[in-house]
Every structure is written in C-alpha cells, then in structure tokens.
Homo-oligomer: A and B are copies of this chain.
C-alpha cells in the first residue's frame, strides 16, 4: 500500500464488544480506529487499557467521537458543556488520542449567530489546545443551524483557532447534494479529519437514512471519488476513515465486515486516483474479461439427475479429470464441470473467467483483500490462480481461448453431441448469504471489474427478494446476485435458495422442445401465467401455445424480451435456464422471478413431502 494512504474505521461500523471491533479492524489491515464513545462506555476496559490493546494490535486511535450539542444560547448550559468536555479530554489523554469530533448542535438552544457560535467553539478550542488536543467540527446534515460543510467551514474560519478544524463526513455532505468541488479550496491543514460513507439514494428522513442505511464506499449511490478528490486536492493527508451506521453490519461478523470496509477504501482510492487525485493503492484497472471459461457445480451426492439433465439439454461429457471425480460437459462455448468430490453441499462452487491477464487479475484481487486460494494439485495439472468470493464461490482466472489453461487436466472422452443450440454461458445466478450481500457486490465489482446493472425487488412466495446484476463492460461475463430482504425465519422453509446457470440460445422454443424431447426435467409453469401473458402482451397464438407447452417465461421490456425456460431444481439446489435475449435486451427476467420461484418452491416441497411421506 502506498506510504501516504492511511486507513481507519470507526468502531461503530462493526458488531460486537469493543475488543471484538478492535481485533477485527486490525485483522483487516486498518491502520487506525475512531473510538465511538458508547463502545467505550459499555466496555470494562479502561481508556488506558484500550490504548494498550490498540498499541498491541498496531492500531492508532485517530479520533474520539462524538461530542454533541456544545453551543448554547444559555450560559449555564454552555458552562455544563465545557465541564463535560473537560471530562472527555481526560478520557482522550488516557486513550492517547488528540482529536475529538464535535458535531453541530441539534438542540433547541443551539446558537444561530455565527460569531457567537464561533466564540463558543473558540473557547473550547482554547481549553483543548492547552491540553495538546484538537477539535474537528462537523456539520450534521440535520444540524439545527449548521448543516452544510460550508457553514461549518465559515464557523471554523470565524473562530480562527489552531486547535479547531473541520471534520468532513461524506454522508453529511452528499446526502444534502451539496456542492463538493469547493472543498478543494479549503486549506488542507484545516481539515482535521475525514469520514467516508456511501449510501443508497433514498428519499427519506436524512437522520433515519444516516442511522440505518449507510454503506461502505462503492456500495451505494454517492459520487465518492469526486468528493475524496476535492478533499485530497485541498491538501488533506490524514487517514481515510470509515463511519458507517448500517443495520446489517451491526449484527454481522465484524471480521468480515472489516475486510469489506478495508476493500472499499482501497477501491475508492483507486477510483479517485483514476480521476487524478491521490495515489492508486491497487495498481491499475481490472484486466479485461473475454468470457466464462467454465462453471463448476459441486455436488456431494451421486444422484444421476444432474448428468441426465445436462445430457438432455444437449451437453456432451467431453472429459474426465485426471485425478478427481470431475466431469467436463460442453456445448458451444459453454463448459460445465460437475465435481463429485463430495466436499461441499450442492452449489455452484466455482466460476472461471477468461482474463487477458490472469496473473495480473489475481494480483489485483489479492491487493483487494481476496487472498489467493491454495490449490491442491496433482502433478501436471493446470495452475489456475483463484480467490474465494464472500459467498464461498471460487473464482478462477484463465487465459482466453478454448480451455487453454486447464483442458490438460482432463482425459478427453471423444464424446460429442448435437446440442440444442446453446452458444455460451449467459450468466450465473448466485443466491447470497444475508449478511454478505453488499460485500459480495463490491467484491465482484472491484475484483472482477464488473459494472452494476439493473436491480429488482420481487415478492417471492416466502418474502421479498432483491436482485442485482453485474456485468463486464463487454457483457461477456454476467452475474445475478440475489438475497432475501429480511433474514428468513422458521416459517419460510429453510432450504437454501437455488443457484443457477443461464445458457444463451438463439431460439428458445426449438431449444426447449429438443431438450424436452430428450427428457430434460423442464419446470412446469402454471396456465394462469399464460392467461396473464396473453392479456399483457400481444403474441401470435401459436407462439403463446408453444410457450405454454414448454414453460417459456416471457419478460417483455421496452427494448426487447427476455425469454427463459428453467429446469427443475437438480441435486437439491441447482437449476439450469435456457435464455434468449430478443433484440439483445439487457435484462434478467426479473419480472418473472416470483412465478419461477413459486414453481421451484412447489417442486421442492412436493419432492420433500413425497420423500418424507
């Protein structure tokens, strides 16, 4: 990492007790922390013990926060604030930190007059300066009178005290859609601290938005590279520090959250450097992707359904692995490995992408906190660099071309098949663990260089579901990530959501008919769906009849239609979809998700009832 990039994280970002948070921050590679006062107050560690713990972990304490509601039109209340501050200065000395965050007041007695407010801040800065401490004044977006960065800067300038500077928080600035380029004109040495948070663009009360929905940089909708660029151009050289209040992060494993947050800062610094400010700690953009080399499905059981389905879908078993119980299936450019080594529950265990620079892509991934996966290999097998994604999927980086790097691992069977018209893998659908959704999006985006695409929210039979598409700029590698809006409980059946491989075809009806004739277990779609489709979309009657017969789902958008036929869920968790993009529509069939999910749920429940009955 470049010497001048220091990273920090506020303890409030992470779940657990203070000791859990500090350990997580250190393990993720942060240089420092902000101590959030309630975390200290609830801790049995004294401030001196916290200082020692941080020193042991190699963490600096960069900020103590927050000090609220300093100023007052009531002199007695101001005096109480000064008294309260002296107590906090004692704590800071014991912690060994020199900067405290002072928020603009939200109280009814907050001072309106800027000179009077500046004088009160000056009085506190005088007390702080006497003890070798500094105040970083921050405009809360919901501050009573001071709620924009330029108002806070005006007050700091009027107060004109060396122990008083600004704290800039990207949420407070960007949630108000404030002008940010002017930040570059603030003298850098007067920006005492920088807090970074992203957020989804929501239309709601800003306090609630801030307290529940903040995200790490790159996970929301704010233009953080522009914001950070302005701060760096101003001359700020302090740490980049995360301050994120997020309901999910508050109850998720803090070690994972910390890794996610640290990655977000590296990716933000990279994006900001691309805009000409600061230094890129990652080292260049993600190498271009040219397609999917293979998708690996792991399944512990020896249920023949998966093989049978692949054969019926037109795949040929073209290879058997030299040393492992792995088969290679091929059709067109689509390659699916079925791994029966039995180490995992059924899942899409790996996705191999074709990269123009596999080694560079792996180095980049490692810099972004995705440690390289040690791969146990038999002699002569391909050495594919690989990392693990947050959802447990292995990502392999291969050279472009027909199985260039890894085909030597397989005995060729000589088998071939006519196929049903599958050209390639269209995309892979990965159901995400509840706690890792935003982490996963950021991971795939930054590590693979994918771009976020359309998103959707659907009423699945047992609760709302959110989906998000990601694709490389050429749209040769696509992913669809799905998560429950709320963590599922006892009522929603606890079987894992299915994952899928979508395969591109030119003629969905021909492909589905051929597959069905070969015995593919196509998913039954209710007649009601086709009655509704007929009401919504004018289709030729024979086309509608074909759809009804074969279970084609038809998602009509303004630019074209996304057509798909799904198999039943196979081996307990996987299905395969044949998809046709009419007019190259950039969709994923989101609108049909509830119908598809209901049908799969019905199939799986029926199977379970049959097997237990």
Contact = CB atoms under 8 A, between A and B. Distances in A.
Q: How many copies does the complex hold?
A: 2
A20 to B, nearest CB: 8
A366 interface: no
A595 B492 CA distance: 34
A43 B487 contact: no
Interface residues on A, range: 35 or more
Contacts of A44: 524, 526-528, 602
Nearest to A530: B41
Interface stretch (A169-177, A246-254, A387-395): A246-254
Contacts of A84: 535-536
A283 interface: no
Contact of A602 (B17, B88, B91, B251): B17
Interface stretch (A200-208, A231-239, A259-267): A200-208
Which of A16, A208, A248: most chain B CB closer than 10 A? A16
Interface string A526-551: 11110110111010000000000000
Contacts of A599: 42
A275 B601 CA distance: 46
A519 interface: no
Contacts of A88: 535
A73 interface: no
Interface in A531-584: 531-532, 534-536, 538
A532 B38 CA distance: 9
A411 interface: no
A464 interface: yes
A52 to B, nearest CB: 15
Given A17-B602, A91-B531, A42 B461 contact: yes
Interface in A36-73: 37-38, 40-47
A485 B491 CA distance: 18
Nearest to A37: B532
A463 interface: yes
Interface string A588-599: 000000110011
A379 interface: no
B435 A489 contact: yes
A87 interface: yes
A42 B595 contact: yes
Contacts of A526: 41-44
A42 B594 contact: yes
A353 B485 CA distance: 39
Interface string A402-423: 0000000000000000000000
Contacts of A47: 528
Contact of A598 (B17, B83, B250): B17
Contact of A43 (B43, B90, B463, B528): B528
A535 B247 contact: no
A487 B485 contact: no
Contact of A17 (B42, B461, B527): B461
Contact of A252 (B253, B489, B601): B489
Contacts of A595: 41-42
Interface string A196-221: 00000011110010001000000000
A334 to B, nearest CB: 29
A108 to B, nearest CB: 11
Minimum-distance CB pairs A-B, first 8: A251-B463, A87-B535, A204-B204, A203-B205, A42-B598, A253-B491, A487-B487, A84-B535
12 contacts: A16-B462, A17-B461, A42-B594, A43-B598, A46-B527, A250-B463, A251-B462, A251-B488, A252-B489, A253-B490, A435-B491, A487-B488
